[in-house]
C-alpha cells in the first residue's frame, strides 16, 4: 500500500513538473474559461509547479478574480469552497449540478492519440506545401529564442472537438455568469490522460455569480511604471541576498509560456479544417468587386488561368536550374542561401503571408511558407516564369499562382489586405512584445478586446508574467536594431567577464543574425565555451551575477541550468511520445537578459546631483549560451542558421543519418548513444569554428558559410 501511495505521489509530482515525461502532448487547455488558483494550503513549490503546468498547456491563467470562472486548489468540501469564494468578494448562489453522461470525452469522439498529418492532407490546404511527411520536432534555434516564443507545432485538427469537449466539462444551462471550484486532482488527471477528462468528483462547488469585485487593473501606464521604477534593481536584490544568489536568479528568471482562450471576435480564422490554413475571413478581406460567395482563392486561380499565356511560348528564356533543383534537394542545409538574392521583392511578399499564417495560428502554413521562402531564396536567378517556381523543392502550383499575380499586378492582394486590416495591425503590434506569442496576442485582441499597449497595462497588467511586463515596458527600445559594432562591444564585455571568472582560454562566438552578416540585429546571441569541461559547468550563473553587480545586466528574463544539471552531456534521446512539448528549448545552459551600458558621459555629474538619476542608454536583448567544448561545434551550428536551415538540419540528421541533432550534441536514434563527432574532448587545439566544420563533415554535409544560411 505504501509503495502504491508513493508511486501515485511520484506521478503527481511529475505531472506538475516542467520536465515531466509522463504527460501526453495532446493536452490543450487554451479553450478553458479563465482560471484562478486558490493558494490556500499550497506550498510555494506546489504553487510554482501548478502555474508552470497550467502555462505549459496554454491554460488561460489569471490573477484577477473579476474575470476568473474556474477556481482550482486544495479544496475538499463545499463549505471550504464557499469560504474561498466569499473571501474573494464574489457574491454567488449555488447551482445544482446536472447529471453527466458517462464519458463526455468519448461522446465528442476525441482521438486517443495524435494523428500524423500526411502529405495529401497538408497539400490539400490552400497555399501550403511541405517536403517531408513527419511531425517537426521541437528544438532550439536562435530565431525562436530571440523573441522568447517557442515554436511548438500543435495539430489544429482537434480544436473544434476540444471546444466541444470543454463545453461538456464546463457545461452551462443558461447565459448566467457561472463559476466552478475544482480540486487540484483534476489537473493531474488531465495531464496524465493527455486530454480533458470529466470533472466528476473533482467538482466541489458550482455557482451563479450575482456580483463580482472590480478589476484590480485600474492603474495608468504612468502609475505602473512609476511604481516599477521604485523597485530595487535586480543587481541590488542579488547583492542583498548573496547567500541565496543562485536560487534568487532562478526564481526571478521564468520563461514565458503564452496563455490564451478561444477568440470570440468575428474576425476569427477558419477552424473547420486541419490547422485552419484558409486566408483571412471577414468583411475586411472580401474584395469590393468580388462576386458574393466567391472566395479570394478562386479569384486568384482565375487570374493564373487568364494571364499565363504570355509565359507559355517555347522561346521563353528560362535558365538551366542549378544542380540542387535538378536533384530535388529538399533540405536547405544542403544548399547555399545568400542574403539579398535576386528575388527579394517577391520574397518580401511571401514573408508577409507567412506572418499572417503565424498570427492566425496556422502552424502547417507557417512551415510550408518557410520551406517555399527558403527554396526561392536559394535560387540564383531572377524568376521570370511560373515553371521555374514549379521546379523548386517545396513549391507548387499555388506558389506559382502568387508569383503570376505579383508579376502581373506588382502586388499580392492577400498582402494588401493584411497591411490594411486594422485587426492584423493590432495583432502584429502585440506579437512584437518580447515574451508574447501569437496565441497571447490573439487573446489580448479577440477575447479581451484590447487594441493598444495602454489597454494591456490598464486592464491586464497583473495577468502578465514578469517577462511580458518587461517586454511591454521596453517595447519601443527592443524594436530598435542593434548595429554590428555595438554587438561586438557587448560580446567583448561578456568575454572579459568570463576571463576574469575562469582564464584566457575562454572563447566567445557571436552567432545569430550577426554571424550571418546582418548589419543590424534584433538581439545579441553568443556562445561561451572553454576547453576544460569543469569550467563551463555553472558558468552562466556566475557571468550573470558578475554583470548584474557591474550594472550591465538590468533584468534576468530566463535562466536555464539544464545542461549543467545533466552533467553537460548531449540531450538524452527520447521519442516524440515521451518528450514534453518544447523540451528542446532548454537543452543548453543559457541566460536571456536585458542589457544596458552603465556608463554615459555625464554619469558622475548626474549622480552627484541626483543619486537616482536615470541611465539614458537604450536597453538591449542579449542571450548568453554556454556550450561544453566537446560539443561546441554543434552549438555554433545550431545557433548560426536561419530557422528553416535549423529545422532542415534536424530533419536531415534524422532521415539520412538516423541521428538526433541538437545544439547540445548528437545521439543515435537507434541506440540512444552520443555521437561524438568532435571527439571525446572536443577539437583539441582548434577553435569553435573549426569544431563546426568537423560537425558538417561528420554529418556528410558540404560546409555552408554562415552568410549562406540566410533561409529567413
What per-residue confidence (pLDDT) applies to 183? 93
Give the model confidence (pLDDT) of 378-423 as tens digits.
999 999 999 999 899 999 888 999 999 999 999 999 999 999 999 9
Domains of the chain: 2-124+155-211 (3.40.50.10190)
User: pLDDT averaged over the chain?
Assistant: 77
The residue with cell 543548453 is: 588
- Tell me how crowded residue 138 is: count the other CB atoms within 10 A of its CB: 20
Percentage of the chain with pLDDT > 90? 53
Q: pLDDT category, 165, cuts 50, 70, 90?
A: low
Cα–Cα distance, 290 to 366 (Å, whole number): 27
What per-residue confidence (pLDDT) applies to 610? 93
**Cβ-contact 509, 502 below 8 angstroms:** no
> Residues 73-77: what's their mean pLDDT?
90
The residue with cell 501550403 is: 128
The residue with cell 512539448 is: 581
What per-residue confidence (pLDDT) applies to 338? 96
> Residues 642-651: what's their mean pLDDT?
95
Cβ neighbourhood burial of 192 (10 Å; 0-12, 13-18, 19+) = middle
What per-residue confidence (pLDDT) applies to 63? 81
Residue 32 is placed in which grid cell? 478553458
Q: pLDDT category, 435, cuts 50, 70, 90?
A: very high
Query: Of 250, 256, 244, which is closest to residue 556 (Cα–Cα)?
Result: 250
Q: Which residues contact 492 (CB under 8 A, 6 or more apart)?
A: none
Query: Of 656, 670, 662, which is closest to residue 700 (Cα–Cα)?
Result: 656
What per-residue confidence (pLDDT) applies to 572? 82
Q: pLDDT category, 49, cuts 50, 70, 90?
A: confident
The pLDDT of residue 99 is above 90: no
- Tell me how crowded residue 244 is: count the other CB atoms within 10 A of its CB: 11
**Cβ-contact 557, 582 below 8 angstroms:** no
> Residues 585-609: what's their mean pLDDT?
91
- Positive or negative torsion for Cα 53, 58, 64, 68: negative
Give the model confidence (pLDDT) of 573-585 as tens digits.
764 433 333 334 4
The total number of residues shown for the chain amounts to: 712
The pLDDT of residue 339 is above 60: yes
Chain CA centroid to CA 440, Å = 11
Q: Which residues contact 369 (CB under 8 A, 6 or more apart)?
A: 127, 128, 350, 353, 354, 357
**Cβ-contact 530, 502 below 8 angstroms:** yes
What per-residue confidence (pLDDT) applies to 163? 58
Q: Which three-class secondary structure state does DSSP give residue 591?
A: strand
* 297: enclosing H helix or E strand: helix 296-307
Give the model confidence (pLDDT) of 228-257 as tens digits.
444 434 333 333 333 344 444 444 444 333
* 356: enclosing H helix or E strand: helix 344-359
Q: pLDDT category, 602, cuts 50, 70, 90?
A: very high
- Positive or negative torsion for Cα 239, 241, 243, 244: negative
> Residues 587-605: what's their mean pLDDT?
95
Q: pLDDT category, 316, cuts 50, 70, 90?
A: low
Phi then psi for residue 558, to 5 deg, are -140, 150
What per-residue confidence (pLDDT) applies to 161? 54
**Cβ-contact 358, 366 below 8 angstroms:** yes
Cα–Cα distance, 214 to 205 (Å, whole number): 23
Please tell me the pTM assigned to this model.
0.65
Give the model confidence (pLDDT) of 662-672 as tens digits.
999 999 999 98
Highest mean pLDDT among 8-22, 133-147, 170-184, 501-515: 501-515
Amino acid at each position: 500500500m505504501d509503495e502504491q501511495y508513493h508511486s501515485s505521489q511520484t506521478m503527481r509530482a511529475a505531472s506538475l513538473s516542467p520536465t515531466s515525461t509522463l504527460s501526453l502532448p495532446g493536452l490543450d487547455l487554451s479553450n478553458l474559461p479563465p482560471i484562478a488558483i486558490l493558494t490556500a494550503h499550497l506550498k510555494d513549490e506546489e504553487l510554482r509547479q501548478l502555474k508552470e503546468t497550467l502555462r505549459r498547456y496554454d491554460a488561460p491563467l489569471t490573477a484577477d478574480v473579476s474575470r476568473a470562472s474556474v477556481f482550482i486548489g486544495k479544496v475538499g468540501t463545499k463549505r471550504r469552497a464557499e469560504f474561498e469564494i466569499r473571501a474573494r468578494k464574489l457574491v454567488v448562489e449555488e447551482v445544482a449540478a446536472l447529471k453527466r453522461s458517462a464519458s463526455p470525452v468519448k461522446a465528442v469522439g476525441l482521438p486517443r492519440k495524435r494523428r500524423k498529418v500526411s502529405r495529401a492532407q497538408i497539400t490539400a490546404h490552400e497555399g501550403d506545401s511541405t517536403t517531408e511527411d513527419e511531425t517537426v520536432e521541437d528544438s532550439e534555434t536562435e530565431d525562436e529564442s530571440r523573441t522568447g516564443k517557442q515554436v511548438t507545432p500543435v495539430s489544429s485538427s482537434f480544436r473544434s472537438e476540444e471546444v466541444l469537449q470543454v463545453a461538456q466539462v464546463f457545461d452551462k444551462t443558461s447565459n448566467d455568469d457561472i463559476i466552478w471550484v475544482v480540486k487540484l486532482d483534476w489537473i493531474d488527471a488531465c495531464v496524465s490522460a493527455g486530454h480533458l477528462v470529466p470533472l466528476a468528483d473533482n467538482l466541489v462547488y458550482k455557482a451563479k455569480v450575482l456580483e463580482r469585485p472590480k478589476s484590480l487593473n485600474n492603474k495608468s501606464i504612468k502609475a505602473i511604471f512609476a511604481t516599477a521604477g521604485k523597485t530595487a534593481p535586480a543587481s541590488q536584490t542579488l547583492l542583498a541576498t548573496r547567500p541565496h544568489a543562485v536560487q534568487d536568479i532562478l526564481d526571478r528568471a521564468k520563461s514565458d509560456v503564452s496563455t490564451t482562450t478561444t477568440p470570440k471576435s468575428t474576425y476569427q480564422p477558419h477552424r473547420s479544417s486541419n490547422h485552419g490554413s484558409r486566408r483571412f475571413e471577414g468583411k475586411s478581406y472580401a474584395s469590393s468587386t468580388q462576386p458574393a460567395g466567391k472566395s479570394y482563392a478562386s479569384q486568384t486561380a482565375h487570374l493564373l488561368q487568364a494571364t499565363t499565356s504570355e509565359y507559355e511560348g517555347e522561346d521563353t528564356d528560362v535558365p538551366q536550374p542549378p544542380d540542387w533543383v535538378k536533384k530535388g534537394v529538399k533540405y536547405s542545409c544542403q544548399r547555399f542561401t545568400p542574403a539579398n538574392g535576386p528575388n527579394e521583392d517577391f520574397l518580401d511578399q511571401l514573408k508577409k503571408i507567412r506572418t499572417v499564417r503565424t498570427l492566425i495560428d496556422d502552424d502547417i502554413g507557417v512551415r510550408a511558407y518557410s520551406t517555399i521562402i527558403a527554396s526561392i531564396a536559394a535560387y540564383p536567378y531572377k524568376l521570370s516564369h511560373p515553371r521555374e517556381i514549379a521546379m523548386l523543392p517545396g513549391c507548387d502550383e499555388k506558389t506559382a499562382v502568387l508569383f503570376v499575380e505579383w508579376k502581373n499586378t506588382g502586388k499580392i492582394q492577400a498582402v494588401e489586405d493584411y497591411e490594411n486590416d486594422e485587426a492584423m495591425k493590432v495583432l502584429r503590434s502585440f506579437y512584437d512584445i518580447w515574451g508574447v506569442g501569437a496565441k497571447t496576442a490573439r487573446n489580448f485582441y479577440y477575447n479581451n478586446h484590447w487594441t493598444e499597449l495602454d489597454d494591456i497595462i490598464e486592464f491586464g497588467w497583473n495577468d502578465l508574467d514578469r517577462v511580458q511586463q518587461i517586454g511591454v515596458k521596453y517595447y519601443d527600445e527592443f524594436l530598435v536594431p542593434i548595429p554590428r559594432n555595438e554587438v561586438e562591444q557587448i560580446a567583448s564585455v561578456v568575454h572579459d567577464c568570463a576571463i576574469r571568472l575562469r582564464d584566457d582560454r575562454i572563447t566567445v562566438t557571436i552567432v545569430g543574425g550577426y554571424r550571418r552578416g546582418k548589419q543590424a540585429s534584433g538581439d545579441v546571441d553568443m556562445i561561451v565555451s572553454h576547453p576544460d569541461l569543469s569550467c563551463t559547468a555553472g558558468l552562466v550563473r556566475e557571468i550573470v551575477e558578475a554583470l548584474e553587480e557591474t550594472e550591465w545586466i538590468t533584468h534576468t528574463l530566463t535562466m536555464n541550468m539544464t545542461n549543467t544539471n545533466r552533467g553537460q552531456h548531449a540531450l538524452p534521446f527520447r521519442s516524440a511520445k515521451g518528450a514534453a512539448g518544447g523540451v528542446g528549448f532548454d537543452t543548453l545552459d543559457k541566460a536571456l537578459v536585458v542589457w544596458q551600458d552603465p556608463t554615459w558621459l555625464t554619469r558622475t555629474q548626474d549622480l552627484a546631483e541626483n543619486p537616482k538619476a536615470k541611465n539614458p542608454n537604450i536597453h538591449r536583448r542579449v542571450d548568453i549560451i554556454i556550450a561544453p567544448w566537446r560539443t561546441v561545434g554543434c552549438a555554433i551550428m545550431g545557433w548560426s542558421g536561419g530557422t528553416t536551415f535549423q529545422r532542415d538540419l534536424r530533419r536531415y540528421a534524422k532521415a539520412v543519418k538516423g541521428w538526433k541533432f541538437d545544439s547540445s550534441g548528437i545521439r543515435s536514434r537507434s541506440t540512444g548513444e552520443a555521437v561524438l563527432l568532435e571527439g571525446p574532448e572536443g577539437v583539441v587545439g582548434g577553435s569553435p569554428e573549426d569544431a563546426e566544420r568537423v560537425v558538417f563533415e561528420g554529418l556528410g554535409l558540404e560546409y555552408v558559410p554562415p552568410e549562406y544560411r540566410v533561409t529567413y
